[in-house]
Structure 1
Amino acid sequence: MPKIVLNAFLTLDGVMQAPGGPDEDPENGFPHGGWQGPYTDEVMRKLIVDGFADADGFILGRKTYGIFSNYWPTITDPDNVIAVGLNSRPKYVFSRSLEQVGWNNAHLIKGDTVAELRKLRAQPGQTLHTWGSTVLLQTLLAHDLVDEYRLFIFPVVLGSGKRLFGSGTVPAALKPVESATSSKGATFLRLERGGRPTYGQIGD
């Protein structure tokens, strides 16, 4: 059964909207597109590439699928690990409005989102990765379907924009697996399930 691995680029205040460029996702008048670029260095790039190499397949929402499918098929360099992974491996696209998906090895899923995600988890494989897909992630978080988090946290605060953890997120404790800090102050956290939260008095 594959683990669902959630990957997210985040600001310190939890915004994950449009990290890659000014025109990536201007929904709701978001004025900060491209905020990630100034804080990315070789440490972060290697962690991102390693994450794509680790994926057996990808779970994508409609908007992220549109962004990715318009760009990555144009990258044909066989040494580009991200392009090779995305262009060749299965991509499960959750959308009620799309009628078809044309990207190689992409599969459109239009049924009940939670039921279909559970079907994917019952298939063979090691990992299914999410990237972007903020709306779809809220369903994953609300139904406790995330097995591992890989969070890239950048030293910038935006004050507005789509955030990773919405009000429907199921409370959970997490165990640290790996961490790294970049030369530009970005932090990578890899976390896995740690059961339910526990509570106590400070100083106990």
Structure 2
Amino acid sequence: MSENQTDETTGTLVVGTFLTLDGVMQAPGGPDEDRDGGFKHGGWSVNYWDEKMGEIMDGQFAEIDTLLLGRKTYEIFAAHWPTVDGDDDPVAAKLNSMPKYVASRSLETVEWNNSMLLAGDVAEAVADLKEESGGEILVQGSGDLIQTLLQHDLIDEFRLWIFPLVLGTGKRLFGDGTVPAALQLTDVETSSTGVQILRYKRAGEIDYGSFALEDQ
């Protein structure tokens, strides 16, 4: 998470994530999306969606210039979005046409239109992408990739969709390697189903203090 951007030519790295109230981001879209660790709660976000959430999602995707994905999320997206008619779905039209970068050690090729594999060290490649892009780079899903980005302090903004449920198990957004950082809340919206849609931007270092009474 870098300091507020001072160079307008530098890209802004945004993480967009669906979360439970206890911070789980694993498999929000379906039972078989990600069963790692024996996860049995896949599809937990599906029945909370309303019209307002769809409109907000359309607006958020309209802002982005580049998509950055880990392998698992890339494979999910690449199997779904090319089958959706872009004339009827603005998100599909944007995703299918825009530049997409994939961080993977196992994939040798990527077939989805306008997709490219990141070469070499992921953190260095993403830092270079930010310098070169000059626009908004969105990481959606991609939990393993996000851990690398958190550990290397590369994220500028979070767009967190917090759903009103707890699961107790599953992959969480902020892992043990997260670099401590202060954030500024810049926008809040709430769906009819109680989903909180929050935007946070990087706000420098943490300002520590104490409530302890001073010695008399």
The verdict on a shared fold, with TM-score over 0.5 as the criterion, is yes
Instruction: Name the amino acid aligned to 1:101.
Output: V
- Given that residues 24 and 172 in structure 2 are in contact (C-alpha distance below 8 angstroms), is that contact kept between their aligned partners in structure 1? yes
Matched, 1:31 2:40: yes
Secondary structure of 2:109's counterpart equals coil
Structure 1 runs (4+) greater than 6 angstroms displaced: none
Q: Of 168, 171, 186, which aligns to 1:177?
A: 186
Q: Which residue does 2:67 correspond to in 1?
A: 58
Matched, 1:4 2:13: yes
1:2-40 CA distance string (max 9 Å, x none): 100000000001000110111111122110010001222
Identical-pair percentage? 53
Unaligned runs of 5+ in 1: none
Secondary structure of 1:137's counterpart equals helix
Alignment of 1:152-167 (within 5 A): 152-167=161-176
Q: Which residue does 1:102 correspond to in 2?
A: 111
How many angstroms apart in 1 are the aligned matches of 2:26 and 2:118? 23
Q: Of 155, 167, 170, which aligns to 1:146?
A: 155
TM-score (norm 1): 0.96
Q: Which residue does 2:6 correspond to in 1?
A: none
Secondary structure of 1:123's counterpart equals helix
How many angstroms apart in 2 are the aligned matches of 1:38 and 1:203? 45
Q: Which residue does 1:189 correspond to in 2?
A: 198
How many angstroms apart in 1 are the aligned matches of 2:134 and 2:212? 44
Matched, 1:121 2:130: yes
Greater CA deviation, 45-54 or 102-111? 45-54
Paired residues in the alignment total: 204
Greater CA deviation, 169-178 or 34-43? 34-43
- Given that residues 16 and 162 in structure 1 are in contact (C-alpha distance below 8 angstroms), is that contact kept between their aligned partners in structure 2? yes
- Given that residues 96 and 110 in structure 1 are in contact (C-alpha distance below 8 angstroms), is that contact kept between their aligned partners in structure 2? no
Q: Of 113, 123, 136, which aligns to 2:145?
A: 136
Structure 1 position 203, deviation (Å) = 8.8
Structure 1 residues 203, 179: CA separation in 2 closer, same or farther (over 3 Å shift)?
farther
Instruction: Name the amino acid aligned to 2:205.
Output: R
Q: Which residue does 2:5 correspond to in 1?
A: none
Secondary structure of 1:65's counterpart equals helix
How many angstroms apart in 1 are the aligned matches of 2:177 and 2:57? 28
1:66-117 CA distance string (max 9 Å, x none): 0000010011232311111110001000001001001100001131011101
When the two chains are superposed, the root-mean-square deviation of aligned CA atoms in Å is: 1.3
Unaligned runs of 5+ in 2: 1-9
TM-score (norm 2): 0.91
